[in-house]
Amino acid sequence: MFLSRRLTGKYASLWVSLLAILMTLAAASILLLAMGKNPLIAFRSFLQGCGMIPKENYGGGSGMLTDLLDFLNYLAPLILASLAFIAAFKAGLFNIGIAGQMLLAGFTATVLVGYNKGLSAVVAKPLVLLIGLLVGGMTGALIGWLKYRFNIHEVVSTIMLNYIISYLTGFFINNNYVDMMTRNSKVCSPDSRLTLTNIMIGDLKCKIPLGLIIAILIALLVSFLFRKTVLGFEIKAVGQNRRCSEYTGIRVNRTILLSMGLSGAIAGLAGVAYYLGYTNTIIPKTLPGMGYDSISVALLGSGAPIGSIFAAIVVSVFQQGANYMSSTVGVAKEIASLITGILLLFASCGNYMKYKAARKMQLAEDLRRTEGKEAKAL
């Protein structure tokens, strides 16, 4: 009853997310127990790996702060990627091509700016962002255009584009830009990177993630778009009832194109924040898993832009803390992806939970009313 009331109340979405997280933790605990590990120690080391709880000992030049900043460096593109998903999702479109859009934007920016040693930081960094926006936006708009011009479902076109982008960029990297030692693409110039490296804070060697500022800025912008603007209203209308939107006079095709373009543009930003911030290199023919994690994050955040920041923190803890957890507890770090998957499963049950709660509340209410009536009759 306590839960039913919460799940039908004003903060229902928040409670659904919390419930999803709790159930995920429970499921993960069972998993860890089955492997003979102590889940509490595992969860603690996830947090330690992200610089949220101090570890027992640190190497030279690193500390809790460096771990935390590394965590934030990972968090930034994930927030952006989930915002990209939300932008399309509000229009009823399922952009599962965020991974491809990230990769194409990251690759283009790496080649055009990252390998151009002549550019100063003041020019290079904004240029990277601009390229991210443009390349991602154009890819997204292409998907929107394919949808309304040829009625190709966005899930199909994005999956196909993901493959095309992955192999095309992989081909160019292997041919032209490969680092013979790592077999990845050559690293970008420090001036072009969205992460400031080797910044000394006290005696700690830190990375400052500029991407996080952009991520929070975009989250606020997207939130404003959907709460306060005519365009946001129209995107939501199209997402909820395309036929009625047409009837109202909304130019549905234009709106689809715009929201896909917007989604792609934000995905492009996520791409440059990931490849020119977090990784600094591109593994050829590999799509960033973050592109898919972003779907879990968006769903866990109930499709709310600000909510997705918090949801991204939860998912990032597992993804980013997995390495340390793996080394201390001895569970393969792939468990992070497993946990994210379970989280997606529970988060997408959110509407079902709300429905169940509403039904329970209603039946209780009916019962109370009829009993009241009977009591009066007696």
Partner 1 sequence: MGDYIVEMRHITKRFPGIIANDDVSIGIRKGEVYALLGENGAGKSTLMSILFGTYEPDAGEILVRGQEVHFHSSTDAAACGIGMVHQHFKLVEPFTIAENIVLGVEPEEKRLGVLPWMNMKKANRQISELSKEYGLEVNPTDRIGDVPVSVRQRVEILKMLYRGAEIMIFDEPTAVLTPQEIDFLLQIIDNLRRNGKTILLITHKIAEIKRIADRCAILRQGKLIDIRDVADASTQELADLMVGRQVRFTQEKTAPNFGEPVLEVQHLTVKNEHKFDVVKDVSFTIRSGEIFAIAGVSGNGQGEIADAIAGLAKIADGNVILNGKEINDLNVRERCLSGISYIPEDRQETGTIPDMTLQENLSLREYFREPFSRKGILKQDPFRDYAEKLIGKYDIRCAQGPDTILRSMSGGNQQKAIVGREIEEKSRLIIFVQPTRGLDIGAIENVHRQILEERERGAAILLISLELDEIMNLADTIGVLYRGEILKIDSADRMTTQEVGRYMMGVKEA
Under rule CB under 8 A, residue 375 binds partner 1: no
Q: List the x/- string, 206-245, binding to partner 1 by CB under 8 A.
A: ----------------------xxxx-x--xx--xx-xxx
Phi-psi region at 179: left, alpha or beta (left = phi > 0; alpha = psi -120 to 50): beta
| Using rule CB under 8 A, residue 168 touches partner 1 | no
- The least distance separating partner 1 from the CB of residue 136, rounded to whole angstroms, comes to 23
Q: Strand, helix or coil at 60?
A: coil
Q: Does residue number 246 form part of the binding site for partner 1 (CB under 8 A)?
A: yes
Q: Using the 8-state DSSP alphabet, how is residue 281 labeled?
A: S
Chosen residue from 176, 197, 248, 351 binding partner 1 by CB under 8 A = 248
- Which residues does 367 contact at the CB level (< 8 Å), separation at least 6? none
β-sheet bridge partners, residue 200: 205
Binding mask 14-53 for partner 1 (x = CB under 8 A): ----------------------------------------
Pull the structure tokens for residue 20. 């999803």
Total residues in contact with partner 1, by rule CB under 8 A: 24
Helix 305-329 to helix 39-49 angle, to the nearest 10 degrees?
Answer: 110
Which listed residue (151, 247, 375, 376) binds partner 1 by CB under 8 A? 247
Task: Determine the length of the chain.
Answer: 378
Angle at 115 between CA 185 and CA 80, to 5 degrees: 70
Candidates 30, 174, 370, 372; binder of partner 1 (CB under 8 A) is: 370
Cβ proximity to partner 1, 237 vs 266, nearer residue? 237
Contacts of 295 (CB under 8 A, 6+ apart): 82, 85, 96, 344
Between 58 and 224, name the residue whose CB sits nearer to partner 1. Answer: 224
| Binding stretches for partner 1 (CB under 8 A) | 228-231, 233, 236-237, 240-241, 243-251, 358-359, 362-363, 366, 370
